Amino acid sequence: MTTAPAAKAPPKAPPKAFAFDVFGTVVDWRTSIAAVAAPVLAAAGRGDIDAFAFTDAWRARYIVGMRAFGQSGRSFVKLDVLHREMLDAVLAELSLDLGEGDRQTLVLGWHKLGAWPDSVEGLTRLKQRFPIVTCSNGHVALMVNMARHAGLPWDAILGAEIAQAYKPAPAAYIATAQALDLAPGELCLVAAHHGDLAAARAAGLQCAFIPRPLEYGGAPAPDLKFEQQWEYRAADLIQLAGQFGC
C-alpha cells in the first residue's frame, strides 16, 4: 500500500483583473526625478548635491510617510500635498531655500515618470484579456498625467484617492477590488515591493512579484524583510503577460 501524497492546498483560481503598484513597478521614478532635480540643484548653485542622493532622500521620506499616514488621524489629501511637505523637509535638511516655482517643478516631476522598457508592452498584452488598473498612492490627476506621458493603457485609475486611504492600509486594496465588483481574492496586485504585496495579501488579494533591481540604482530595496512566496513571479511585465496567455 503506497502512502498518499501530502495534502496540498488547491490552486487558487486565476485572478479576474490585475491592479498595479506604479512607482517603481511600472515606472522608474529615480531616473526621472533625478533628471528633473539635477538642473534645479545646479541653478540653485548646489551642484555639489548628487541628484540621485537627493531623489533617494525624498523617496525615503515617502516610504515612512505612507506607513505613518494611516495612524496619523489626518484626513486624506492628494499625494502632491504630501510630496510637497516631504520635499520641503528634505530641502530644509539641506539648508536649500528653493523658490516656489522650483518646488512645484519638482513635485510635478512625479506626474511625468518614464516607464520601464517592458511596461507598455506588458500592460498592453495583459489588457487584451484582463482589466488592468492602478492601485497606487498617486492620485487620479497624477496617474492620468503619467499615463498620457508614458503611454500606460489603464482601464481605470483606482487606489488611494478612490479609497481615501494610502497603501499599505487595507482599505486601499479592498476599495480597488470593490470598485471592480470583485472579491479581494479575485484581484491580483502586481508590485516590485514585498511590503506592498504583504499588505495586499493581508487584505485578501493575490500577489505577483516583479523584481526591479535598478529601482534604487542597484542598492537593495528597503522592504526585503517582507519577502515570501507569492502566487506569481515574473522577470518583467511581458513575462507576466505570457504566464496568463497574453
Q: Where along the sequence are the contacts to a second copy (CB under 8 A)?
A: 78, 80, 131, 133, 139-141, 143-144, 147-148, 154-158, 161-162, 179-181
**Residues 6 or more apart from 226 whose CB is under 8 A from it?**
193, 194, 195, 197, 198
Query: 16 or 67: whose CB is closer to a second copy?
Result: 16
Query: For residue 66, what is its C-alpha cell?
Result: 505612507
Angle subtended by helix axes 51-72 and 29-43, to nearest 10 = 110
244 DSSP 8-state letter: T
Q: How far is residue 168's CA from residue 196's CA, in Å, rounded to a whole number? A: 6
Query: 190 or 192: whose CB is closer to a second copy?
Result: 190
CB of 113 to a second copy, least distance (A): 16
CB of 11 to a second copy, least distance (A): 26
Query: 119 or 134: whose CB is closer to a second copy?
Result: 134
Closest C-alpha among 117, 165, 149 to residue 176: 165
Q: How far is residue 151's CA from residue 27's CA, in Å, rounded to a whole number? A: 11
Query: 31 or 145: whose CB is closer to a second copy?
Result: 145
Contact 122, 61 (CB under 8 A): no
Parallel/antiparallel/unpaired status of strands 232-233 and 187-191: unpaired
CB of 79 to a second copy, least distance (A): 11
CB of 140 to a second copy, least distance (A): 4
CB of 131 to a second copy, least distance (A): 5
CB of 13 to a second copy, least distance (A): 18
Q: How far is residue 195's CA from residue 6's CA, in Å, rounded to a whole number? A: 31
Query: 22 or 41: whose CB is closer to a second copy?
Result: 22
Query: 163 or 189: whose CB is closer to a second copy?
Result: 163
219 DSSP 8-state letter: S
